[in-house]
A and B are shown apart, each in its own frame.
Chain A
Amino acid sequence: MSFTVELLVKVVVVLAIALPLALVVIFGELKVSAHMQSRVGPYFAGGRWGWAQPLADAVKFMQKEDLVPSSADARVYKLAPYVVLMGTLGTFVIIPIGPDLVSRNLDLGLFYVLAVSSLSTLGVLMAGWSSGNKYSLIGGLRAGAQLIAYELPLVLAAVAVAVQAGTLSLNGIVEAQAQPWFHIGDFGVTLPFLVSGQIIGFLIFLTASIAELSRIPFDMPIAESELTMGYLTEYSGIRFTMFFLGEYAGMVSLSAIAATLFLGGYWLPGLSNDLLDWVGPLVVIGKVLLLCFLFIWFRWTFPRLREDQLQSLAWKWLIPAALVNIMATAFFKVVF
């Protein structure tokens, strides 16, 4: 196939998997949070389960008026949602969902993913500044500080995995987890990195992802009860939908990265490579949904941390822990 057709097919397939998965996660959040709070959640949209609620919400947002506040900086205001969405959707390119099913198997996969996902920070700052609203400004500034502070633990935790796997390519990392870690007699025991030494790295990565997504307990930038949506206050209609989808697509993408780095990606112990071509996507989706459930569970149980507590958590605890983690991984890798 020619390059453009192949490119088009890959883009369509990636969007066809990522966006519906984001909608599934939105629906899951609505229902799971409702049952955790002893209520029912969506009920009428689409039969008794309310599965059409996210679709109904999307249609509702699309038919809303396109507002730009008069004191807002219009060009930056209109550009901000696209920048955020770009940063999020760009990470789906290198996530492997099967041994050969990946949009592009970059050798620098991990590096690329972490670099692209930090583009959304810029979009958030743009949104906060250009809204022409003091609350949005405060939210945007908090967001900038938080997202930059938590990039570092995210990256350092991923570096430890790269050290243990010996490669930056995500396919390579999954295959490294498929190698037996130790042998009991003739039987090779294969373990995902979560169990084979990266538990602290996983916890750091999880905490940093929640902060990168601005979810409770780290949602100071949005802080609904103080700033009425922070940097998102002035956004409505389709622009808000893009931020909203961007947040859930970000959840899916960070879960997918965490699943690939720590839980083994598309690989399950005992499955051969041919089977993985078919079952792989389901395995990845299952792991992604599991991690998204964890995100949802944390959101509805915990309150939010104050800004300075957030920052001291990142700088005083997570970064030193991540550095120690890297050193320990390197030590064990060299010695054993």
Chain B
Amino acid sequence: MSALDAGGMVQISDAAVSVELVGEDMMLNIGPQHPSTHGVLRLVAQVDGERITRLEPVIGYMHRGKEKLAEVRTYPQITTLINRIDWISGFANEVPFVVAVERLMGIEVPERAQYIRLILTELTRISNHLVFASSYPLELGAATPLMYAFRERERVLDLIESVTGGRFHPNFNRVGGVKPAAGGGSTQKNVVLDLPAGFFEATLRTMDKVLEVCDEIDNLVVGNELIQARTIGVGVLPPEIVLAYGVSGPNMRASGIDFDLRKHEHLLPYDDFDFDVVVRSNGDCFDRYVTRIEEIRQSVSIVRQAIGKIPSGPLRAKVPRVLKVPPGEIYVRAENPKGEMGYYVVSQGGRVPYRVKIRSASFSNISVLPWVSQGQLIPDLVATMGSFDFVLGDVDR
């Protein structure tokens, strides 16, 4: 009304539109079946146009009841169950559990077994990070790095298969060491399942190829301005939020927190090797990606050093045929490729544990999604989600 001057005319400079554009938020179900949710994750998002105002993850579509099943399985049988939690890095899931049981029983693992465990864990770490390095650009639209990384991953999986017999679910850890012989009978007992001939050469050749593909991915993905435009500054996790939500693994190290369970807990002889913990400071998607590529390079260096230094000796400590674990409880955690994975084993004597609680990395990693997706666009949500590198088997167990 003040826009009207003395003559009753509206001055253009004073007129203003005073109607607020009111719209409704749309409820978008980024449903269980979706190409980029790494499995059956359901995100109920309230979007305003393309901007997310509220996000709620709904999990449990892949719950297989591993912790309950573990209450009715003997210790060697539980190893076959927990292989399948984080199915991309199969071997690394078994290690903390087996170490927990060994610590409860007070068994000393022979050196050679520890080195073999370490080599296989690092090979699984390389394999896992190769999957991530190639499926993440796929979500952003670049389809080619997938094929290059999987080509090299086949070689790594072949290595794991030549030692253990299985690619993804090796079932090679035993309480007291690694699987010593092919069977229990008089001939099979002497078929030692040690590293086969040609393993060292094949591993060194494969490590060279892995480094080559890392360089190819550097050229194709990391240096690409479009990827940088999509990921730099997107999904930033400040260190306080990382610690508050329990995000672990490369996600944590990309936000500047220098903490690696390989150097902190002493399950495997990482102290004998010289490697850097990759830490970056920005905490955005780009840093999480580059952290994992650098971790591949560090793992390659560890494997090369380990091959040079592996001692000889037995593959498994002496354990009774029928495994009974004395009463007690223990929590052991290790650096799964996806983050911190821990097992809390409670035993009351007997062949079967009383309770096994699995602390999985991806469950805590995606709990930060509602916080980080506030105000993001949907494509940014896809980019952020992909950069956390989770699998639903790990989230739901």
Co-complex (A, B) = yes
| Chain B 35-63 residues near chain A, CB threshold 8 A | 35-36, 50
> A303 with B141: in contact, given A217-B226, A225-B36 (CB under 8 Å)?
yes
Size class of the contact patch on chain A: 20 to 34
Give min CB distance, A139 to chain B, whole Å.
11
Decide if A303 touches B34 in the complex (CB within 8 Å). no
> A219 with B34: in contact, given A302-B224, A306-B380 (CB under 8 Å)?
no
Query: Which B residue sits closest to A216, measured CB to CB?
Result: B141
Q: A145-182 interface mask toward B, CB cutoff 8 Å, 1 = contact, 0 = none?
A: 00000000000000000000000000000000000000
Give min CB distance, B129 to chain A, whole Å.
19
Q: Which of A300, A303, A307, A308 is the most central at the interface, judged by chain B CB atoms within 10 Å of its CB?
A: A303
Bound together, the chains give a CA A228 to CA B382 distance in angstroms of 13
Q: Is A63 part of the binding interface, using a Cβ–Cβ cutoff of 8 Å?
A: no
> A225 with B382: in contact, given A38-B151, A134-B26, A303-B230 (CB under 8 Å)?
yes
Q: B196-238 interface mask toward A, CB cutoff 8 Å, 1 = contact, 0 = none?
A: 0000000000000000000000001000101101100000000
B382 proximity list for chain A (CB < 8 A):
225-226
Q: Is B143 part of the binding interface, using a Cβ–Cβ cutoff of 8 Å?
A: yes
Decide if B148 touches A38 in the complex (CB within 8 Å). yes
Give min CB distance, B232 to chain A, whole Å.
12
Bound together, the chains give a CA A306 to CA B227 distance in angstroms of 10
B142 proximity list for chain A (CB < 8 A):
216, 300-303
A225 proximity list for chain B (CB < 8 A):
35-36, 138-141, 382
| Residue among B28, B151, B230 making CB contact with A306, cutoff 8 Å | B230
Query: Which B residue sits closest to A309, measured CB to CB?
Result: B229
Decide if B230 touches A307 in the complex (CB within 8 Å). no
Query: Which B residue sits closest to A34, measured CB to CB?
Result: B147
Q: B125-149 interface mask toward A, CB cutoff 8 Å, 1 = contact, 0 = none?
A: 0000000000001111111101110
Q: Is B377 part of the binding interface, using a Cβ–Cβ cutoff of 8 Å?
A: yes
B220 proximity list for chain A (CB < 8 A):
301
A134 proximity list for chain B (CB < 8 A):
26, 28
> A38 with B224: in contact, given A220-B379, A303-B137, A306-B380 (CB under 8 Å)?
no
> A303 with B226: in contact, given A38-B151, A138-B378, A226-B378 (CB under 8 Å)?
yes
Query: Which A residue sits closest to B141, measured CB to CB?
Result: A304
Query: Which A residue sits closest to B220, measured CB to CB?
Result: A301
Decide if A303 touches B227 in the complex (CB within 8 Å). yes
Decide if A217 touches B379 in the complex (CB within 8 Å). no
Query: Which A residue sits closest to B137, measured CB to CB?
Result: A303
Decide if B148 touches A226 in the complex (CB within 8 Å). no
| Chain A 287-308 residues near chain B, CB threshold 8 A | 300-308
A224 proximity list for chain B (CB < 8 A):
35, 141
Bound together, the chains give a CA A228 to CA B139 distance in angstroms of 11
Q: Is A143 part of the binding interface, using a Cβ–Cβ cutoff of 8 Å?
A: no
| Chain A 169-223 residues near chain B, CB threshold 8 A | 216-217, 219-220, 223
Decide if A307 touches B35 in the complex (CB within 8 Å). no
Query: Which B residue sits closest to A302, measured CB to CB?
Result: B226
Q: Is A273 part of the binding interface, using a Cβ–Cβ cutoff of 8 Å?
A: no
Decide if A38 touches B147 in the complex (CB within 8 Å). yes
Q: Is A36 part of the binding interface, using a Cβ–Cβ cutoff of 8 Å?
A: yes
Give min CB distance, B373 to chain A, whole Å.
14
> A305 with B226: in contact, given A225-B138, A228-B34 (CB under 8 Å)?
yes
B226 proximity list for chain A (CB < 8 A):
217, 302-305
B50 proximity list for chain A (CB < 8 A):
138, 307
Bound together, the chains give a CA A309 to CA B141 distance in angstroms of 15
Decide if B143 touches A300 in the complex (CB within 8 Å). yes
Q: A17-51 interface mask toward B, CB cutoff 8 Å, 1 = contact, 0 = none?
A: 00000000000000001001111000000000000
Bound together, the chains give a CA A95 to CA B204 distance in angstroms of 58
Decide if A307 touches B147 in the complex (CB within 8 Å). no
> A303 with B379: in contact, given A36-B144, A228-B35 (CB under 8 Å)?
no
B34 proximity list for chain A (CB < 8 A):
228
A33 proximity list for chain B (CB < 8 A):
143
| Residue among B35, B36, B230 making CB contact with A305, cutoff 8 Å | B230
B139 proximity list for chain A (CB < 8 A):
225-226
A138 proximity list for chain B (CB < 8 A):
28, 50, 378
Bound together, the chains give a CA A217 to CA B142 distance in angstroms of 9
| Chain A 103-135 residues near chain B, CB threshold 8 A | 134
Decide if A301 touches B377 in the complex (CB within 8 Å). no
Chain B residues within 8 Å of A, Cβ to Cβ: 26, 28, 34-36, 50, 137-144, 146-148, 151, 220, 224, 226-227, 229-230, 377-380, 382
Given contact pairs A37-B148, A39-B147, A309-B229, a sample of 8 additional A-B residue pairs in the complex whose CB atoms are under 8 Å apart: A217-B141, A220-B379, A223-B379, A302-B141, A302-B142, A302-B224, A305-B230, A309-B230
A–B pairs, 29, beta carbons within 8 Å:
A33-B143, A36-B144, A37-B147, A37-B148, A39-B147, A138-B50, A138-B378, A217-B141, A217-B226, A219-B141, A220-B379, A225-B35, A225-B139, A225-B141, A226-B35, A226-B378, A228-B34, A300-B142, A300-B143, A301-B142, A301-B144, A302-B141, A302-B226, A303-B140, A304-B141, A305-B229, A306-B230, A307-B377, A307-B379
Chain A residues within 8 Å of B, Cβ to Cβ: 33, 36-39, 134, 138, 216-217, 219-220, 223-226, 228, 300-309
Please name the 5 residue pairs, one residue from A and one from B, whose CB atoms are nearest each other, closest first.
A304-B141, A37-B147, A303-B140, A303-B141, A303-B142
